[in-house]
Structure 1
Amino acid sequence: MYRNFKIVPNIIFGRGCFNQLGDILKPKRTDADAYMVFVLDDVFKGRALEGRLPMEKGDLLLLVNVDDEPKTKYIDQLVDQVRAYSPRKPDGIIGLGGGATMDIAKAVSLMLNNPGSAADYQGWDLIKHPAVYHVAVPTLAGTGAEISRTTVLTGPEKKLGINSDYTLYDQIVLDPELLAGVPKDQWFYTGMDCYIHDVESLNGTYLNEFSRAYGEKSIDLCRQVFLEEHPDKDDKLMMASYFGGMSIAYSQVGACHALSYGLSFVLGTHHGIGCCITFDYLEDVYPEGVKEFRRMMEKHDIHLPRNLTKNLDDKALDTMANVALGLAPLWENCFGKDWKNVMTKERVLELFRKM
C-alpha cells in the first residue's frame, strides 16, 4: 500500500515576498469582527520584523518563548489565551520564527478545533478535525517545519510529534531576506537538521524514488551552502529545507533523530544542536554522512558541547533510552524490520553515555 499524503497547497518564494503577506491574508478575513493571531518568536520583540507584521484592528499578537523546546502544556496555555481573547475562533494563525515557533503555531491551530490537551494527540493520525487556517513564515531554514506534517512537542511522558495531514500549513511564505542576521551557530545547527534529514532519508530502508529525488537535491544544496561559497546561500538553504522536508514526507528520518528526541526529553537540548550532538556519534551507522558533517563543522569552526550525560543517573539514562526506542518507524527506516535486534537498549545506552 502507498500513502496518499497531503502537501502544503500554497507556496510563495522570493526575496521580499514577505511584503505580500497582508494581501495573502486579506481574502481569509471573513468580516469586520474577524481577527488573525500572529505567533511570533519573542526574540523579535521591538525589532523590525514585529513592526512589519500586517496586523489589522482586532488582531492578536502572541509573543512566544522558545528558549525551551515546545511543551504540550505551553500549547494548552496559548490556546486558552486565544480563547480568552475572543469567544469566536480566529480566521487564521500565522507562525513567524524558527522550527519551534512554527511547530507552536501548528499546534495552536490544531488545538483550537480539537478538544482536550495537546498531549492527547502525540502520535500518528490522532487528530480528528481540521486545523484553523494557518500560515508559516520561517526566519530560520533547515528544520523543514514549514512543510512537515508533524509538530514536535515534549509532553509529560514523551517527546513525540502530533503527526497528521491536518498539521500541514495551508500557506508558506519563503523569503530568504528574513534569514539575514541569524547567529552563526544557530544558522549551522538548524541547517544541519536539514542535512541530517537528507542523510537519514537517502540511507533508509523506506527510500523510494520520490524521496530520493527531493533528498538528493536537498543534500546538494546543503553542500553548496556549507562547503562552498555562494552569495545566494540563504536562498539555497531555504530551498534545501523545503526539499529535505519533502524527502522525509514519503520516507522517514532515522537513528539520529530518534536519539536526539531522547536527549531533548531529559536535558531539554534544542533540536538542531541535539541532532548535531547525536549525529557525531553515529559514524558506524552513517559513515560518509558523519565524515562530511565533520568537514562542515571544521569549515565553520563549530565546536559541539561534550559530556552532557556525564552526571546523569541510571534512571535518567533509562528514560532517555526509552524515549528514543519508542520511535519505532525511525528505527525501522534505519535498520529494517529487524531493528530491535540491531539497536538494543544497551547499545542505545552506550551511545548516550558517550555524549
Structure 2
Amino acid sequence: MSYKNFPMVSKVIFGRGSFNQLSDILEPNRLNTSAPFIFFVDDVFKGNPWLTSRIPLSYQDKVVYVSANEEPKTEQIDAYVEDIIVSFNERPSGIIGIGGGSLLDIAKAVAIMINNDGESKDYQGWDIVKNPAVYHVGVPTISGTGAEVSRTTILTGPERKLGINSDYTPFDQVLLDPELTKDVPKDQWFYTGMDCYVHCIESLNGTYLNAFSQSYGEKALELCEEIFLNDDLPSEESQDKLMMASWHGGMSIAYSQVGVAHAMSYGLGYLLGVKHGIGNCIVFDHLEAYYPEGVAVFKQMKAKHNITLPQGICADLSDKDFDIMINVALSLEPLWENAIGKNWKKTITHDTLKALYKKM
C-alpha cells in the first residue's frame, strides 16, 4: 500500500499580540527591494487602524482590500495574478492573506498561480499543480474554516466549485493571533465555528478515518463542544481555544476527508452563492440520517446561541437548478466515499440529493 506524504505548514506562531511580529517574520524572506510583499486583506478592516497600521509595508509592498461577501472565484484569482505580473518588474517576495477562509484561500491561490501558467480553473482538482507557489503566509482573523492549515483553496469556477488541492497549497508560515478575532459578529462566529465542528463530525464518522485524523478530530470536537455548549468560558480563553479547534479540525481532514454536508454545501455555494460556513449549517441541519449524534448536538448549540438559519432557500428553484447543484455535489467523489464507503453510488442518487435540497 502506498501512503500519501502530506506537507504541513512548516512554521507557525501562536499568541495574543503575535501579529506585531509580522515584520520580523517577513523581512528575512524579502528577495530584494523591488520584489514586494502583497497583502490581501479583508475589507472589513479598511479604515481600522488597530489592524491596518500594523501591516508592515516598505519599498513597493502593496495592500489589496478584498470583500469576503462572495466566495473566491477563479476569474478573480486570474485578475489579481495578471495585475501583479503587469504592475511589478519582479515576482513578489511573498503573498500574505489576512482575513477569514476566503482571504486565506485567495492568498494560497494567487501564490500558486504566479508560478504556474494558464488559468486557475485548470488547476481545480487534485494534484495538478506542477511548480511550487511563491512564499505565502496566512493570518486568520476568524476561526473555524481550517483554511490556515489545509492543502486546498476553494474556488468557484465556470463549471464547478472545487479547490486547488496540492502539496504546494499549504502556507509556508501561519500566524495565529486570537486577538484578531475579537470583533467577529456573533452569527459569523457561529457559522465559521460550525464549519470546524462539521469537519470533525465528518472526519470522525468517515470511512477514511485513521489514528492520525482521529487524534486531531477528537481534540477539535472536544474544544468545539466546550466553546459552544459552555456558558462559563471567558471570551479571551474562548477565542484562543476556537483558534486551536480550527487548526486541529483542519488537520483532522488532512489525512482523511469531509463528507455529506461539505459536498452539498458546495452545490449551494456554486448555484446560489451561499457562503461556505452558513451553507454547511443549512445542510447539516437536515442530515440526521447520516450523522444522528452530531446533528443533535448541532441543534443544541444552535438553540443555545439563538441562531436562526435561513429557510426555504431552495423553494423557488427549477429542476434545472436542482440538477446543477446535484451535479456539483456528486462530482466530489472522495467526500462521498469517505462519508458512505466505496459503494456510495448505490445509495446517493440524484433523487436522494434532490429530496434533501428541497428541505432547505
Q: Please point out which of 302, 305, 314 is paired with 2:307.
A: 302
Residue 265, structure 1, aligned to residue 270, structure 2: yes
Residue in 1 aligned with 2:114? 112
- 1: CA distance between counterparts of 2:106 and 2:23? 21
Query: What amino acid sits opposite 1:224 in the alignment?
Result: E
Of stretches 280-289 and 42-51 in structure 1, the one that deviates more from structure 2 is 42-51
1:62 shift after superposition: 1.0
Residue in 2 aligned with 1:39? 40
Alignment partner of 2:154: what SS? strand
- 2: CA distance between counterparts of 1:165 and 1:226? 33
Matches within 5 A, 1:1-355: 1-47=2-48, 48-228=50-230, 229-231=232-234, 232-355=237-360
1:82 shift after superposition: 1.0
1:352 shift after superposition: 0.7
- 2: CA distance between counterparts of 1:105 and 1:219? 27
Alignment partner of 1:305: what SS? coil
- Contact in 1 for aligned 2:33/2:59 (Cα 8 Å): no
> Pairwise CA RMSD of aligned residues?
0.7
Q: Deviations over 1:159-208 (max 9, x none)?
A: 00000010000000000000001000000000000000000000000000
1:233 shift after superposition: 0.2
Between the aligned residues of both structures, percent identity stands at: 59
Query: What amino acid sits opposite 1:172 in the alignment?
Result: V
Query: What amino acid sits opposite 1:43 in the alignment?
Result: V
- 2: CA distance between counterparts of 1:62 and 1:174? 21
Alignment partner of 2:253: what SS? helix
- 2: CA distance between counterparts of 1:31 and 1:69? 33
Query: What amino acid sits opposite 2:106 in the alignment?
Result: I
1:31 shift after superposition: 2.2
Q: Deviations over 1:11-66 (max 9, x none)?
A: 00011111111000010012232310011011111112112101112101111122
Alignment partner of 1:165: what SS? coil
1:224 shift after superposition: 1.0
Query: What amino acid sits opposite 2:38 in the alignment?
Result: V
Structure 2 gap ranges (5+): none
- 2: CA distance between counterparts of 1:241 and 1:104? 18
Segments ≥4 residues shifted beyond 4 Å:
none
- 2: CA distance between counterparts of 1:195 and 1:216? 10
Alignment partner of 1:49: what SS? helix
Of stretches 320-329 and 24-33 in structure 1, the one that deviates more from structure 2 is 24-33
- 1: CA distance between counterparts of 2:112 and 2:339? 30
Q: TM-score, normalised by structure 1?
A: 0.99
- 2: CA distance between counterparts of 1:33 and 1:203? 50
1:85 shift after superposition: 1.6
Query: What amino acid sits opposite 2:270 in the alignment?
Result: F
- Contact in 1 for aligned 2:213/2:255 (Cα 8 Å): yes
1:2 shift after superposition: 1.3
Query: What amino acid sits opposite 1:163 in the alignment?
Result: N
- 2: CA distance between counterparts of 1:67 and 1:183? 14
Query: What amino acid sits opposite 2:148 in the alignment?
Result: E
- 2: CA distance between counterparts of 1:14 and 1:221? 17
Q: Deviations over 1:135-161 (max 9, x none)?
A: 000000000000000000000000000
- 1: CA distance between counterparts of 2:53 and 2:121? 34
- 1: CA distance between counterparts of 2:202 and 2:69? 27
Alignment partner of 2:53: what SS? helix
Q: Deviations over 1:286-335 (max 9, x none)?
A: 00000000100011100000000100101011000000000000000000
